[in-house]
């Protein structure tokens, strides 16, 4: 009505003059896109205008502004600029119902109009992930659904796991009850394993109303799985006399606690030297009796797992002793040559028969080498005694034989001694030696 009243007040002569000069006049507008809840600016310009009125009307053909006069009582609509060349208005707190085609009219004869389409973008709601129930067992098939509503046009949903996009997903778009916005959902199916434990699965919603800042929803996975076990020795080359620590590294969800240590399928044989502390087995003063297969078992509510370690205790490298010279104990020259030949197999056998309780960490001589030296000394001594006995026996026999010569024809013992060769009568001097 306001528009009709204004037209009735215009004199006929003035109308004729405007028609005559209106040939180069034409209103110019532009389409506008605004996010729901934002503010839209509608601008109508005329390059050449001879004081002809401009008017903005909404999609329902209701007049909003006629020049600088407000026609529709709506507090959201305000005048921005009004002149003979431009009429600009603003619509704040835009809703989806404001979308449509707006008209700018230039009241020439005939009236010239220009259309501007106002597009209102529906902002998608924050996405929600459903379908996850904690915990999930390793090997189970998981189905996650990400859903968002209120987008216009329909939003795009993308899935990421470990910052890597997953392409093989299902996508569903449904129109909302207002028949203007959409509800979008996407479903992700995959089979989980232990590497997925603690991984963040992200659902990302992209939409032009979000100004390049997507909305995201995140779900951290919790996967339960059987333990994985590994034994780590403190040294790769255990030797006699040393200490050894075996660490049972076990990973599982839930965490297995404690672990069980066994040796050769039975309990640990020497609790005083084999001490279990948490996941560690400490063996003090290694010896050959410790050789064997050690087993670590870890158990949780999902299952059991184990690992084995074969322990071989190595000998400490032998230290050669200096050569010892043994002096001769007899007056007779004695030469003894002893050759000891040791084959590799004999050496290995001797090494295996060593005292298992001997400590390799002590800096003492080798028992086998000492035994060999003692054997040589005993052998040389026995040979010396044997040779000395033979020498004394032969010397005494010669003495008795010489003493008995000439006694065969003597009538009595005194005559025989006197007539004997080498007697005191004929001999200058008789000597006896006692040793």
| pLDDT tens profile 319-333 | 655 544 444 433 334
The pLDDT score that the predictor gives to residue 412 is 60
The pLDDT profile of the chain, 435 residues, written as one tens digit per residue, is: 333 333 332 333 223 333 334 456 899 999 999 999 999 999 999 988 888 999 999 999 999 999 999 999 999 999 999 998 999 999 999 999 999 999 999 999 899 999 999 999 999 999 999 999 888 999 999 999 999 999 999 999 999 998 899 999 999 999 999 889 999 999 999 999 999 999 999 999 999 999 888 999 999 999 999 999 999 999 999 999 999 999 999 999 998 888 999 999 999 999 899 999 989 999 999 999 999 999 999 999 999 999 999 999 999 877 655 544 444 433 334 333 333 333 333 333 333 334 444 444 444 456 778 888 888 899 899 988 988 888 787 765 554 555 555 555 556 656 655 555 544 444 444 445 444
- Domain 128-221 fold: Immunoglobulin-like (2.60.40)
Burial class (CB in 10 A: 0-12, 13-18, 19+), 227: buried
Contact 143, 131 (CB under 8 A): yes
Provide the 10 A C-beta neighbour count for residue 354. Answer: 16
Contact 334, 389 (CB under 8 A): no
CATH 2.60.40.10 fits domain 226-311: yes
Nearest Cα residue to 319 out of 363, 350, 286, 372: 363
Cα separation values, 276 from 246, 263, 283, 428, Å: 10, 13, 9, 93
The pLDDT score that the predictor gives to residue 410 is 56
Rounded to 10 degrees, the C-alpha dihedral 269/275/277/280 comes to -70
Query: pLDDT per residue over 190-200, tens digit each?
Result: 999 999 999 99
All residues at 6 or more sequence positions from 176 whose CB lies less than 8 Å from its CB, including other chains: 149, 150, 182, 183
Cα separation values, 329 from 326, 390, 411, Å: 9, 16, 48
Query: pLDDT per residue over 46-57, tens digit each?
Result: 988 888 999 999
Nearest Cα residue to 243 out of 204, 282, 193: 282
309 alpha-carbon distance from chain centroid: 22
The pLDDT score that the predictor gives to residue 253 is 92
Q: Given this chain, do its domains 27-121 and 128-221 carry the same CATH topology?
A: yes
Domain 27-121: give its CATH architecture: Sandwich (2.60)
DSSP E strand stretches across 270-336: 274-277, 280-283, 292-299, 304-311
Tell me whether the omega of the peptide bond preceding residue 135 falls within 30 degrees of 0, making it cis. yes
pTM, two decimals, is 0.59
Contact 192, 139 (CB under 8 A): yes
Nearest Cα residue to 336 out of 374, 376, 285, 305: 376
Domain boundaries along the sequence of the chain: 27-121, 128-221, 226-311
Distance separating alpha carbons of residues 397 and 402, to the nearest angstrom: 9
Contact 431, 424 (CB under 8 A): no
The pLDDT score that the predictor gives to residue 411 is 62
């Amino acid at each position: 009505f306001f528009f009709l009243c204004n037209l009735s007040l215009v004199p006929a002569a003035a109308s004729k003059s405007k028609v005559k000069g209106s040939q180069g006049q034409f209103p110019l507008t532009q389409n506008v896109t605004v996010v729901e809840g934002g503010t839209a600016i509608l601008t109508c310009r005329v390059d050449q205008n001879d004081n002809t009125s401009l008017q903005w009307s909404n999609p329902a053909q209701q007049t909003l502004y006629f020049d600088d006069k407000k026609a529709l009582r709506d507090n959201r609509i305000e005048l921005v600029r009004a002149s003979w060349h431009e009429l600009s208005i603003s619509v704040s707190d835009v809703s989806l119902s404001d979308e449509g085609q707006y008209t700018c009219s230039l009241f020439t004869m005939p009236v010239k109009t220009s259309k501007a389409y106002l597009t209102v973008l529906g902002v998608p709601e924050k996405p929600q992930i459903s379908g996850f129930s904690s915990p999930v067992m390793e090997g189970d098939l998981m189905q996650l659904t990400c859903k968002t509503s209120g987008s216009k046009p329909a939003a795009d949903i993308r899935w990421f796991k470990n910052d890597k996009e997953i392409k093989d997903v299902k996508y569903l778009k449904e129109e909302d009850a207002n028949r203007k916005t959409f509800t979008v959902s996407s479903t992700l199916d995959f089979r989980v394993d232990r590497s997925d434990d603690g991984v963040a699965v992200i659902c990302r919603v992209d939409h032009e109303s979000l100004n390049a800042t997507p909305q995201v929803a995140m779900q951290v996975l919790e996967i339960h799985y059987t333990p994985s076990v590994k034994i780590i020795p403190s040294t790769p080359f255990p030797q006699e006399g040393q200490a050894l620590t075996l660490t049972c590294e076990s990973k599982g969800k839930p965490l297995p606690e404690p672990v069980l240590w066994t040796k050769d399928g039975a309990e640990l044989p020497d609790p005083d030297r084999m001490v279990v502390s948490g996941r560690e087995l400490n063996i003090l003063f290694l010896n050959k009796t410790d050789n064997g297969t050690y087993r670590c078992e870890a158990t949780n509510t999902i299952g059991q797992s184990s690992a084995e370690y074969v322990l071989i205790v190595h000998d400490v490298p032998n230290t050669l002793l200096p050569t010892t010279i043994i002096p001769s104990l007899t007056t007779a020259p004695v030469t003894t040559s002893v050759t000891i030949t040791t084959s590799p197999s004999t050496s290995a056998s001797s090494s295996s028969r060593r005292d298992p309780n001997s400590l390799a960490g002590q800096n003492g001589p080798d028992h086998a080498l000492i035994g060999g030296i003692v054997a040589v000394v005993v052998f040389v001594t026995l040979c010396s005694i044997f040779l000395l006995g033979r020498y004394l026996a032969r010397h005494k026999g010669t003495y008795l034989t010489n003493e008995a010569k000439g006694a065969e024809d003597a009538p009595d013992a005194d005559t025989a001694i006197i007539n004997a060769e080498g007697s005191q009568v004929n001999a200058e001097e008789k000597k006896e030696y006692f040793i």
